[in-house]
Structures are given as C-alpha cells and as structure tokens.
Amino acid sequence: MDQNNLNLNIRPEDMTDVVCDKCSCQTFVPVFLFKEISAVVSPSGKKTLVPMQVWKCDECGHINDAFLPKPKKADDSSGGLKIV
C-alpha cells in the first residue's frame, strides 16, 4: 500500500485527549532532558550530552510517564544506545 496516497479522515472528536496524569490539564510545553554519553562509547571519543525533548504539563509541571524515555531494563543485553 502506497502510504503517500492514504486519505485518512480522522476527525478530532474521534481522537482521545491526552491529559496530565496529576492535574488533568490538556496543555503541555516542550522541555529537554539531557542524557550523557561517556567518552568510551561516544563516536567522538569525548563525553557528550544528548538533548531529549519531552513534554511537561503547562499547569503543574508534571511529566507523564508516557512522555519519558523508557529506562533500560536490567536484563536488556542490547548494549544500550546505538549511534548510527
């Protein structure tokens, strides 16, 4: 199926509202978390900070768990972050 020719008729009333888990506000603002890559695994060989955009509630400042990057599980053997 050619995805460039999809004609989706999704009405706003058919969508689910996303709200703050703490205060039920519907508005969010972008903020950044920073992750650090050690020099050992960084492609440049230097410690590097990587910004990750997430969204916080405009009213109370809470960040829903669904907006946060998933933490690495203890049994994850993928080796972590892969930079391509």
7-29 pLDDT, tens digit per residue, is: 678 899 999 999 999 999 999 99
The domain ranges of the chain are 17-67
Q: How confident is the model at residue 84 (pLDDT cuts 50, 70, 90)?
A: very low
Per the document, the length of the chain is 84
Residue 64 is given by DSSP the state: -
Q: In the chain, how many H helices and how many E strands?
A: 0, 2
pLDDT tens for each residue of 23-64: 999 999 999 999 999 999 998 999 999 999 999 999 999 999
